Amino acid sequence: MKVLGLTGGVGMGKSACAQLMLARGLPVIDTDELARQIVEPGQPALDEIQKTFGADVIDTDGRLHRGELARLVFGNSDARKTLEGILHPRIRALWHAQVESWRKDQRSLGVVVIPLLFETEAQQELDVTICVACSSATQHQRLSSRHWSAAQMQQRIQAQWPIEKKMAAADYVIWTEGDLDLHASQLDRILSDIK
């Protein structure tokens, strides 16, 4: 079985690429989704986050106040590293378990979406890495459509490797500037090459 790691800059098309892979029958696990699951009420990670960052990061329903936590960590690299120390080992254990499940099911390919793939050195545990990328202008346009402020965009972008560095480290790059058909045709060529 080959395990593909999918990464890219924020707003550069990871989710669209993951959907295209699902449509082609590939099993996909998204570590952003895992990150949401492990901070649900009652989860140990949520308790640890509250103990570390204070009661303000929990809303009145007992759920993670994402905006407040983002405000605390994206402007402070030490705080961000502390949060990553709480989340990343748990996320990695979950995607490892999923990969093992795929192996037992004798899947030939599986995809793990990891925004911080190279930053967390996950490439060492993957067979192939694919980076989705677009121009900075397109990235900003896409993030603006999420109603992010310029400051929020800059903080998120600076929390990751520059896209040029990710592209250089990846085995394959999909340029997501065009329409979805162009994105899909690039993906199909890569999958054909991998298989």
CATH of the domain at 91: 3.40.50.300
Cα dihedral: 70, 75, 78, 80 (round 10) = 30
First to last CA, the chain: 10
Q: What percent of the chain has pLDDT over 70?
A: 100
- Which residue range forms the structural domain that includes residue 80? 2-194
Q: What is the DSSP letter of 39?
A: T
Average pLDDT over residues 11-39: 96
- For the stretch 15-28, pLDDT in tens is 999 999 999 999 99
Asked if the model's pLDDT at residue 158 lies above 90, the reply is: no
pLDDT at 159 over 90: no
What is the value of pTM for the model shown? 0.92
Amino acid, res. 113: V
* pLDDT tens digit sequence for 63-91: 999 989 998 998 898 999 999 999 999 99
- Chain centre distance of CA 33: 9
Share of the chain above pLDDT 90, in %: 88
**Tally of structural domains, the chain:** 1
DSSP state of 58: B
